[in-house]
Amino acid sequence: MTHPQTGYSPIPRAHAHTRRLLDALRRLSHVEAVGGGLLLWAAAVALIWANSPWASHYQALWHLPVGFTLGPWQAAPSLHFWINDGLMTLFFLVVGMEIRREMHDGALRQMRQAALPVLAAVGGVLAPALIYTLLNLPDATRLAGWAVPTATDIAFAIGLLALLGKSIPPHLRVFLLTLAIIDDLIAVLIIALFYSGGLAWEGFAVVGAGLLLTLGLQRTGFGSAWAYVLPGAIVWVGMLLTGAHPTLAGVLLGLLTPVRALPTRQPPALWLAQTSAAIQNLAAQAETLSQPLRDMRLAQRELLPPAVRVPQSLHPWVVFGIMPLFALANAGVGLGNLDLSQTDTLRITLGVLIALVLGKPLGVLLTCGLLVRLGWCRLPPGVSWAGIGLIGLLAGVGFTMSIFIAMLAFADPGYQNAAKLGVLLGSLASALLGLAWGLWYVRGLRSRAAG
């Protein structure tokens, strides 16, 4: 017996399939291991391309002018500029929001709870900087790269930890995430203080105007992210005018993002209840449901604070687009043009490599050991010293932020390539050592759980 097809519409079924597909993609986008793997793939492609017969095309692509005309103003910066100084602003925006959220209700809310990973991050910055400095004294040009090995790549570090499976204690993941966030915050401060050059103070007036406009929109309850594009662009242009790195605009805007739902003319919960009642009343009139359904989705969105909602929306674009594109544009080190027989380039490469592989774990372990020995802090529940060692090794995966700092630290392309090679080799060595140590650590956890 066949069922009557009168009134049948494939739209609801197609809508359900689409939602399932989007939900699956959304879950995939939040698996850290996927993001880390994509970054690694992009870096490998860049390295192979930059050392292939088509290396000239690689360089030409990123120097391609991408300009615009706005009235009497014309600008034609390179594609490389738009990636490093434009798109990476969104990456720093997400970082700023993560820091803001952790300060409000996360691992950074209570200083006593956050003290150990926060201070471990500081130790993990100081030790690599000291090692690099000692290996490159007394040359002032080489010393400009002291901050290159101080950074930790959040996506790679958390992704590698995810590869070790669910046996990893939850507190260990929180420890690494907190350390990486503080590490990023320190990296942002380093860029602002040491790699922004001379500051043109009139640009700060433009930055201030953009920030005031942003705060004004928040106060009036504008929930649409599109409303903040213009003030965000004003802050970015202001940062560019000051001489500071324009990506710092992303951090400022991220730190200003509200961690509570914005005020609206009608409370979202009441709005949601009224819309739900309207839908029930209109159930018999399917064609009139579209507007109430849109209202319900909007009300659901407004229940989430911007510091949660915006990163969720940007995360797939950052993980699957911006960061791999950054790696593709910056990880292409032409080894044929790199003369490691020269003392300068060799010392830069070795300095970054050794500082990442040894300096990071030493800094983290020594800082934690000193604080615990003095009785100022305690290890998190379920976390052993072997786990702290794993954190230290994974913190040595600098990659994205380290390459970013290397581009700012050195004007000479040869020095840039030497630093990038050190970052790639040091990050690879740290990742392999971290995975090997992690497998041994997980095996021990499982055997103790079984026994």
Written as one string, the DSSP assignment of 189-217 is HHHHHHSS-S--THHHHHHHHHHHHHHHH
Q: Which tops the pLDDT comparison, 23 or 410?
A: 410
Alpha carbon separation from 319 to 60, 97, 330, 414 (Å, rounded)? 25, 15, 16, 29
Q: If you search the block for the tokens 């879950």, which residue do you land on?
A: 27
314 vs 198: CA distance, rounded Å: 32
Tell me, yes or no, whether 117 lies in a domain. yes
Q: If you search the block for the tokens 């951090």, which residue do you land on?
A: 251
Tell me, yes or no, whether 37 lies in a domain. yes
Mean pLDDT of 300-308: 61
Alpha carbon separation from 273 to 182, 263, 283, 296 (Å, rounded)? 41, 17, 15, 9
306 vs 97: CA distance, rounded Å: 9
Q: Which tops the pLDDT comparison, 244 or 273?
A: 244
Per the structure, the complete domain to which residue 441 belongs is given by 31-196+324-450
Domain total in the chain: 1
Q: Which tops the pLDDT comparison, 299 or 81?
A: 81
- pLDDT category, 234, cuts 50, 70, 90? very high
Say which DSSP state 411 is in: S
Closest CA to 80 of 94, 92, 66: 66
34 vs 20: CA distance, rounded Å: 19
pLDDT computed for residue 105 by the predictor: 74
Tell me, yes or no, whether 250 lies in a domain. no
pLDDT computed for residue 262 by the predictor: 57
309 vs 154: CA distance, rounded Å: 20
Query: Is residue 152 within 8 Å of 184, Cβ to Cβ?
Result: yes
384 vs 377: CA distance, rounded Å: 14
Rama region for 273: left / alpha / beta (φ>0; ψ in -120 to 50; rest): alpha
What residues pair up with 74 in beta bridges, in sequence order?
A: 69
Is residue 447 exposed (0-12), middle (13-18) or buried (19+ Cβ within 10 Å)?
Answer: exposed
Give the Cα-Cα-Cα angle 46, 50, 52 (nearest 5 degrees).
115
- Number of other CB atoms surrounding residue 446 within 10 Å: 12
Tell me how many helices (H) and strands (E) the chain has: 21, 2
Give the Cα-Cα-Cα angle 247, 30, 381 (nearest 5 degrees).
95
Q: If you search the block for the tokens 């009642």, which residue do you land on?
A: 277
3-class state of residue 383 by DSSP: coil
Mean pLDDT of 36-49: 84
pLDDT computed for residue 5 by the predictor: 47
Tell me, yes or no, whether 368 lies in a domain. yes
18 vs 38: CA distance, rounded Å: 24
Residue 319 CA from chain centroid, whole number: 8
Q: What is the mean pLDDT of the chain?
A: 79
Tell me, yes or no, whether 202 lies in a domain. no
Mean pLDDT of 152-180: 81
pLDDT computed for residue 169 by the predictor: 84
Written as one string, the DSSP assignment of 97-134 is HHHHHHHHHSTTSSHHHHHHHHHHHHHHHHHHHHHHHH
Q: Is the pTM of this model over 0.75?
A: no
pLDDT at 381 over 60: yes
- pLDDT category, 283, cuts 50, 70, 90? low
Query: Is residue 200 within 8 Å of 243, Cβ to Cβ?
Result: yes
Closest CA to 441 of 394, 399, 397: 394
Six-digit token string for 218: 């928040």
Tell me, yes or no, whether 119 lies in a domain. yes
Most confident of 10-14, 245-249, 338-342: 245-249
404 vs 416: CA distance, rounded Å: 10
Residue 112's Cβ-side half-sphere holds a number of Cα atoms within 13 Å equal to 2
Tell me, yes or no, whether 302 lies in a domain. no
Residue 102's Cβ-side half-sphere holds a number of Cα atoms within 13 Å equal to 22
pLDDT at 424 over 80: yes
Query: Is residue 323 within 8 Å of 35, Cβ to Cβ?
Result: yes
How does 89-125 read in b/e, with b if 16+ C-beta sit within 10 Å?
bbbbbbbbbbbbbbbeebbbeeeebbebbbbbbbbbb
- pLDDT category, 232, cuts 50, 70, 90? very high
Tell me, yes or no, whether 283 lies in a domain. no
pLDDT at 111 over 80: no
* CB-based contacts of 231, cutoff 8 Å, min separation 6: 210, 211, 213, 214, 217
Handedness of CA 176, 179, 183, 185 (dihedral sign): positive
Query: What CATH number is given to the structural domain containing 161?
Result: 1.20.1530.10
- pLDDT category, 108, cuts 50, 70, 90? low
Share of the chain above pLDDT 70, in %: 76
351 vs 129: CA distance, rounded Å: 9
Query: Is residue 356 within 8 Å of 434, Cβ to Cβ?
Result: no
